[in-house]
Amino acid sequence: MKKLQLLIIFLFIPLLASAQLSVGVMNPDQVLDSLPETSEIESTLQQFVQEREQRFQARYQEWIEELTAYTEQAEAGNFTEAQQQAEEERLSEMEEELSGLQNRIQNQIRQRQNELFSPLLNRVEAAMETVARDMGLEYVLNRQSGTGEPIVYYMSDRGVDITERVIEYLTQN
C-alpha cells in the first residue's frame, strides 16, 4: 500500500512542479482545539458517555450478582439438573443482552459524536475554503490525520500553512 502511495506521489511531482500549484497546509486538530465550542462539545459528549456507561455498569453489576448467586446455589446443590440448566440459559441470555446493549451504546455514542461535531466541522471546512480562496490557493492539504500520521508523505516546506488564518477567521466570524 505504501509503495502504491509513493508511486502516485512520484508520478504527480513532475505535474505539480510544472503546473506551479499554490498549495496550503492546515492542521485541523489545531483548528478544532482552538475553538471554544470544541471543549463544550467534548464536555457534552463526555456526559453522554458517562450516562451510557453507568446504565451499562448497572446492568452488568446485576448480571454479576445473579451469576454469583447462581454459582453459590449450584455449589450448595440447591438446584435440580433441570433448574440448573434453565438458570444457565437465563444467565446466558442476560449475557447476550449485555453484549447487545454494549453494541447499541457504542453506536449511540458514535451517532451523538457525529451529531455534535458535524456543524463545527462544516464551519471549519467553510472557513478553510474561504481562507484558501482569499489566498488564491489551489489545494489545502491536511498536515496530519487524527491518528497523528501524515496524510501526505512528502511535502515541500514551501507550502503555506493557513492554520492560524483559519483560526482567526473562525474566531472573528
| pTM of the complete model beyond 0.85 | no
Looking at domain 2-172, its CATH superfamily turns out to be: Skp domain (3.30.910.20)
In angstroms, rounded to a whole number, what is the distance separating the alpha carbons of residues 56 and 63? 11
pLDDT computed for residue 24 by the predictor? 80
3-state SS, residue 110: helix
Do the Cβ atoms of 56 and 158 come closer than 8 Å? no
* 57 HSE (CA, 13 A, CB side): 6
> pLDDT (tens digit, 0 to 9) for every residue of the chain, 173 residues total?
555 454 455 555 555 454 567 778 888 888 889 999 999 999 999 999 999 999 999 999 999 999 999 999 999 989 999 999 999 999 999 999 999 999 999 999 999 999 999 999 888 888 888 888 888 777 777 776 555 554 442 333 456 678 888 888 888 87
Domain positions in the chain are 2-172
